[in-house]
Chain A
Amino acid sequence: MKTNNFMEVKFKAESVNESFARICVASFCLPLNPTLDEINDIKTAVSEAVTNCVVHAYPKGEGDVVVRVELDANEVVISVSDKGIGIKDFKKAREPFYTTKADEERSGMGFAVMESFMDKVELQKNGDKGLVVVLRKRLKRSALTKQSC
């Protein structure tokens, strides 16, 4: 895929950075002229993916999260990566209400929300360690704007 623009940020897997990640990605997407609904969808999906890193990836210590955003003509591709413990069963993890931390009042809806708000969600192993969540969304107004020019 030809990429018109991209950015990458790396930060500590701490909940205090979730807001930064959301705002950072949303700001970078603005040149594609997204609607408010689309921006909110993207912010929510990013928040879910980063929360997964913060809550699940590093149970025995500290680690990093890398968020990469690629902008094509009218598509946003966001990769949220960690080098943590990964997920053994991708299929199970994507089931609504499935959580490994039910005692912490977790809804288990993280992946369901990502899938609902984005066009496509992919889970991949991050090399030999960790997880990559790839979120894709095609922006509608951006395509219309491009056609009308």
Chain B
Amino acid sequence: MKLKSRIYNGTLYVLLCGELDEHSASYVREEMDKAFGSGIFKQIIIDLSELEFMDSTGIGVLIGRYKKMKDRSIPIYICNPSSHAEKIFKMTGLYELMPKIV
């Protein structure tokens, strides 16, 4: 699992690469919090185009990040989910918290 991030035009872009499960969750949590805690940005876009697998542990990680950013009034958006990730997001209601953008 790898995570890449960059800030461009007031947006923090986070790219998740690999498999997000119980084994990688703590790494993703730490790296996301590092990225979320550095620089100035008004919104966050999480790019899932290179995410190969995710289960409900990933949902827990994302909801945890949402709660932290909600306190700072910074919205988080999801882009490029696989059809599989989309299925999990729809059934768990994650898009209610982190809308999908094209």
| Chain A contacts to B: CB under 8 angstroms | 15-16, 18-19, 22, 37, 40, 43-44, 47-48, 51, 54-55, 104-107, 109-110, 112-113, 116-117
Dominant SS among interface residues on chain A: helix
> What residue of chain B has the Cβ atom nearest to residue A14's Cβ?
B23
A residues less than 8 Å from B84 (CB atoms):
37, 40, 44
User: Is A47 within 8 A of B21, CB to CB?
Assistant: yes
User: Which residues of B, 50-75, contact A by the 8 Å Cβ criterion?
Assistant: 53, 55-57, 59-61, 63-64
B residues less than 8 Å from A107 (CB atoms):
56-57, 59-60, 63, 92
User: Is B55 within 8 A of A48, CB to CB?
Assistant: yes
Q: How far is the CA of A121 from the CA of B15 in the complex (A)?
A: 34
> What residue of chain B has the Cβ atom nearest to residue A19's Cβ?
B19
User: Is B91 within 8 A of A105, CB to CB?
Assistant: no
A residues less than 8 Å from B29 (CB atoms):
105
Q: Please tell me which one of the listed residues A15, A112, A113, A116 contacts residue B21 in the complex, with CB atoms under 8 A apart.
A: A15
A residues less than 8 Å from B61 (CB atoms):
105
B residues less than 8 Å from A109 (CB atoms):
56, 59, 91-92
Q: How far is the CA of A109 from the CA of B62 in the complex (A)?
A: 13
Going nearest first, the 6 A-B pairs with the smallest beta carbon separation are A105-B64, A15-B23, A107-B60, A107-B59, A109-B56, A15-B22
User: Is B91 within 8 A of A112, CB to CB?
Assistant: yes
Most chain A Cβ neighbours within 10 Å, of B57, B88, B92: B57
| Chain B contacts to A: CB under 8 angstroms | 19, 21-23, 29, 53, 55-57, 59-61, 63-64, 83-84, 87-88, 91-92
**Assuming A37-B83, A105-B61, A105-B63, is B56 touching A110 (CB within 8 A)?**
yes
Q: How far is the CA of A46 from the CA of B59 in the complex (A)?
A: 16
Give, as a whole number of angstroms, the nearest-CB distance from A59 to chain B.
15
A residues less than 8 Å from B57 (CB atoms):
51, 106-107
Q: How far is the CA of A48 from the CA of B19 in the complex (A)?
A: 14
User: Is A43 within 8 A of B92, CB to CB?
Assistant: no
Most chain B Cβ neighbours within 10 Å, of A22, A44, A55, A107: A107
Given A19-B19, A22-B53, 14 additional A-B pairs, CB 8 A: A37-B83, A44-B53, A47-B53, A51-B21, A51-B56, A104-B60, A105-B60, A105-B63, A106-B57, A107-B60, A113-B56, A113-B88, A113-B91, A116-B91
